[in-house]
Amino acid sequence: MMAAALASPSPHPAAAFSLTVKDGIAHLVFDLAGEKVNLLSSTVMEELNRNLVALSLRDDVRCLVVKSGKPGAFIAGANLHELGAITDEQTAAERAGEGQAVFNILDDLPFPTIAAIHGAAVGGGLELALACDYRVVTDDPRTKLSLPETTIGILPGYGGTYRLPRVVGLSAALRMILTGTAVDGPRAEKMGLADACWPSAFFEDRTLQMARTIVRGERPPLRRRSRSLGITLAEGTPFGRALLFRSARREVLSRTGGHYPAPLAALRVLRKTAHASRDRALAFERETIGKLLPTDITRNLVRLFFAQEAAKRPAALSSGAPTRNPSGTSARKIERAAVLGAGVMGGRIAWLFARQGVPVVVKDIAWEAVRKGFETAHAIFLELESKRRGSPRETNLGMNRISGAVDYRSLGSPDLVIEAVVENLAVKKKVLAEVEERVRPDALIASNTSSLSITEMAMSLRRPERFVGMHFFNPPNRMPLVEVVPGARSSPQAVSEAVRAVLALGKTPIVVHDCPGFLVNRLLMPYLNECVRLIDEGSDFVAVDRLFRDFGMPMGPFTLLDEIGIDVAREVGRVLSQAYGHRMEASSAIESLAARADLLGRKTGKGFYLHRNGKRIPNPEMRRLIEARQGARKGAPGRDETRDRPLLAMVNEAALALQEGIVASAQEVDLALILGTGFPPFRGGLLRWADQRGIGVIHEALAGFARRHGERFTPAPLLVTLASERKGFHQE
């Protein structure tokens, strides 16, 4: 990942690198003092530059090994805070050029070099390794190699676009750079990114043996790799390369909708420099970096990166909750779990635990239901195998961690129990009261409800302090967000433990205070409801879907309604309408459409769309029903109003949620909607988009909608205040 400026030398609290030389082998160890990971800051790059220049002048070195002093971590890339300080093209290009120059010194050393990678080699960390003659890696699961720059709006800026294709070939380089995909040690060896993959226990010895072989002037005994004839033809001829780049461009546009300039810019760089000299290739790379780095899209994506990192720090999420449980010991690790309810959601949650190595019991009232939960988890493992992101061995190990039960005696002694039964308050309260009597007094109990009150559910418990909400978004194997919801009597320790459990499952937690719909569903419902009102007024649902996909949403609102289920959306709407009144009052259209039991969306095969063989086709029957409701109404609202009414309804509800303290910050609102609904990351989140649009403009638009369409658009007091003070939701 492109690091920041190589400014004039400045003092560093402690040396980041240590250098030793013995028997002709130099060991350059990167161990940044006081940090959990190694980052390539400007000072670090200065020090690396000095070490490499000194090495180039020595005559007692026959081989260099570059490695990390951090256990399980190689180099985590650039210091993004320094990147964010760059505001103009020229400075960005100059800083990239300075970093390229350092790695060129490594590339040009007069003796062989080995990058010994144990742990993550991300961005600039992998670019450093690419500048070495050899790369050896461990088979440890923590060893991941990636160039994720395009996911934060830039591209590899220290020679990655030049060196990676020459190491692994153009096809593999396109996949890694355009998607930011990480590869593990065995995969890195198979594709030629690594010259060897060794077990962690023998890694130091094997690396030293390899270095000694080089010092003796012998060629290391590394496995030879050959490429398939198809890849050779595709990459080795002008016609083949043209087809390869054309296919890559189509894939990028299909995946990003053209909203993200970085992958397309990286594609241009790779195409233009495929056969260029190093100097020409690096010049074009840094010129392109200069154009990308200062843009609003890059700034938004970098902010999102920092927001996600902040969400991984439990202390920042648990409202100041202590990090110790009532017994005074450190918050315990979840070593056994149980899931109550073996439906599709229960099976998917069980898969999350099994995937992370945690034994889990799935309990339901009948073995047939338990079997379906097993099938759900197994299908996810098989899907990963088909995408080469898992192996049959991992599937077998994972499924062996899942056991079934139809009674509470078989739960064992779980540290965490997640209730995932039907979304019915009475049923949930009954199940929670039953399980409380049969698990350890200190076990954490959570409900996977999407809208019901955690405080109300806790009334069925004798120890409500150990109960919280953990709202997994569907499908939980793919959706990264979990809302952690304290009830009125949930202890800070329970909240803290729930946050840590979410993190252990590889998900991002957001702590949300208890209210109907919590945060994401509370904000999503006005958006969906307003879209349904639009079709009642004459809009075409296919055109509305297209409009919001053009805005950057992963799917249009009516496609989303089909995925949720029109009947489910109606029921959630009723719950929220009772809580919030006119703001959430359901459109009469949704009530009418949900009455058709055969038109509920994907689960019945048809809703707004026909769902057949993986394809989605507008449903003519639904169109006729909508047209019959529209009758002789005037034409559809204009494009701007069609876009603004649903989005501004969300902004207004977000302002009310912030007023009520449902979440702590606008940043958490933005992160929750990006991770929970797919709100376009390049726009920075809902409230970042609102700030960029202008709070005064939004206030005026809402007031106008309130006059024409009703009091549901009445601007929230917080929004009125911000508009009058000419402030935004995000105060930098």
CA distance 723 to 559: 34
Nearest to 172 by CA among 153, 189, 193, 152: 193
Instruction: Indicate the residue type of 511.
Output: V
Tokens of 570: 């109606």
pLDDT value of position 1? 41
Q: Are 145 and 126 in contact (CB under 8 A)?
A: yes
Quote the pLDDT of residue 443.
Answer: 94
| pLDDT at position 136 | 97
What's the CA gap between 606 and 549, in Å, rounded? 21
Buried/exposed 689-725: b ≥16 CB within 10 Å, e otherwise: bbbebebeebbebbeebeeeeeebbbbbebbbebbee
Question: What digits encode the pLDDT tens for the residues 62-73?
Answer: 999 999 999 999
Q: How many Å apart are CA 419 and CA 409, to the nearest integer? A: 16
Residue 358: φ, ψ to 5°: -105, 120
CA-based Rg of the chain, rounded to a whole angstrom? Answer: 28
Could you give the dihedral angle defined by the CA atoms of residues 644, 647, 650 and 654, in that order, rounded to the nearest 10 degrees?
Answer: -100
Average pLDDT over residues 713-720: 96
Question: pLDDT digits over 597-653, tens only?
Answer: 899 998 899 999 999 888 899 999 999 988 888 765 657 889 999 999 999 999 999
Distance between terminal CA atoms of the chain? 25
The correct CATH number of 520-725 out of 1.10.1040.50, 1.20.210.10, 2.10.10.90, 1.10.110.30 is 1.10.1040.50
Say yes or no to pLDDT of 109 above 70: yes
What confidence tens digit (pLDDT) does each residue in 548-589 have?
Answer: 999 999 999 999 999 989 988 888 888 888 889 888 887 888
Residues 272 and 162: beta-carbon distance below 8 Å = no
Averaged confidence pLDDT in the chain: 90
pLDDT at residue 228, rounded to an integer? 60
- Please answer whether residues 576 and 584 qualify as being in contact, where contact means their C-beta atoms are separated by less than 8 angstroms: yes
282: nearest Cα among 135, 176, 130, 109: 130
Determine if residue 3 is left, alpha or beta; phi over 0 gives left, psi from -120 to 50 gives alpha, anything else beta.
Answer: beta
Question: What SS3 state is found at 537?
Answer: coil
Q: Which of 515, 516, 636, 623 is nearest to 577 (CA)?
A: 516
What is the per-residue pLDDT for 128? 98
* HEC letters along 101-136: HHHHHHHCCCCCEEEEECCEEECHHHHHHHCCCEEE
Per-residue CA distances from 148 to 103, 301, 355 (Å) = 19, 12, 24
pLDDT in tens, 249-284: 999 999 998 999 999 999 999 999 988 999 999 999
Q: How high is the pLDDT of residue 132? A: 97
CATH code: domain 325-511 is 3.40.50.720
d(CA 615, CA 612): 5
Task: Report the 10 Å Cβ neighbour count for 667.
Answer: 21
Q: What is the pLDDT of residues 282-297, one digit of tens each?
A: 999 999 999 999 999 9
Helix (H/G/I), strand (E/B), else coil: 28 = strand
The pLDDT of residue 631 = 66
Q: pLDDT tens across 396-424, in order?
A: 999 999 999 999 988 989 999 999 998 88
What are the structure tokens assigned to 489, written together?
Answer: 């009597």
Write down the architecture of domain 17-294 according to CATH. Answer: Alpha-Beta Complex (3.90)
**pLDDT of amino acid 590:** 85
Confidence band for 12, pLDDT divided at 50, 70 and 90: very low
**Band of pLDDT at residue 314, cut at 50, 70 and 90:** low
Contact at 8 Å (CB) between 189 and 198? Answer: no
Cβ-contact 323, 404 below 8 angstroms = no
Instruction: Identify the pLDDT of residue 451.
Output: 82
Q: Which long-range contacts (CB under 8 A, 24 or more apart) does 162-166 make?
A: 162/273, 162/276, 162/278, 162/281, 162/282, 162/285, 163/107, 163/127, 163/130, 163/131, 164/130, 164/193, 165/270, 165/274
> What token pair was written down for 142?
């923590």
**52, pLDDT greater than 60:** yes
Pairing, β 360-363 against β 402-405: parallel
By C-alpha distance, which of 639, 332, 300, 649 is closest to 501?
Answer: 332
Yes or no: say if 593 and 542 are a contact pair by the CB < 8 Å rule: no
How confident is the model over 433-471, as pLDDT tens digits?
Answer: 999 999 999 999 999 998 889 999 999 999 999 999 999
The contacts of residue 174 (CB under 8 Å, 6+ apart) are 244, 248, 267, 270
What crossing angle do the helices spanning 666-677 and 686-693 adopt, rounded to 10°? 120
- Gap between the Cα atoms of 184 and 717, Å rounded: 51
The phi, psi pair for 302, rounded to 5°, reads -65, -40
How much of the chain is helix, strand and coil, in % rounded to 5? 55, 15, 35
Distances (CA, A) of 716 to 446, 578, 583, 648, 713: 32, 19, 11, 11, 9
- Enumerate the CATH 3.90.226.10 domain ranges in the chain, comma separated: 17-294
DSSP-assigned letter for residue 705: H
The contacts of residue 279 (CB under 8 Å, 6+ apart) are none
Task: Output the pTM of the full model.
Answer: 0.88
Range from 174-178, 590-594, 597-601, 665-669 carrying the lowest mean pLDDT: 590-594
Residue of higher predicted confidence among 309 and 287:
287
Pairing state of beta strands 481-486 and 508-511?
A: parallel
Write the DSSP string, 299-312. Answer: HHHHHHHHHHHHHT
Q: Are strands 63-68 and 444-447 parallel, antiparallel or unpaired?
A: unpaired
pLDDT at 317: 44
Cβ distance 570 to 564 under 8 Å?
A: no
pLDDT-derived band at 227 (thresholds 50, 70, 90) equals low
Q: Report the side by side order of strands in the sheet with 17-22.
A: 17-22, 25-30, 63-68, 113-117, 134-138, 196-198
Is 70 exceeded by the pLDDT of residue 304?
Answer: yes
Q: What is the pLDDT of residue 310?
A: 86
Question: So what's the pLDDT on residue 321?
Answer: 37
Q: Region 316-329: what's the mean pLDDT? A: 37
Tokens representing 66 are: 């570059």
Whether the per-residue pLDDT at 11 is higher than 80: the answer is no
pLDDT in tens, 485-523: 999 999 999 999 999 999 999 999 999 999 999 999 999
Instruction: Name the token pair of 504.
Output: 């252990």
Where residue 325 falls among pLDDT bands split at 50, 70, 90? Answer: very low
d(CA 353, CA 347): 10
So which residues are the catalytic ones? 471
Give Cα separations from 658 to 303, 306, 577, 677, 723 (angstroms).
20, 20, 19, 18, 15
What is the model's pLDDT at position 326? 35
Task: Give the pLDDT score at 608.
Answer: 95
Residue 566 in tokens: 């029109």
Q: Which two tokens stand for residue 658?
A: 């912030």
Q: Where in the chain is the domain with CATH 3.40.50.720?
A: 325-511
Q: How far is Cα 670 from Cα 400, in angstroms, rounded to an integer?
A: 38
| Amino acid at site 116 | A
CA-CA distance, 638 to 704, in Å (whole number)?
Answer: 15
The H or E element spanning position 192 is none
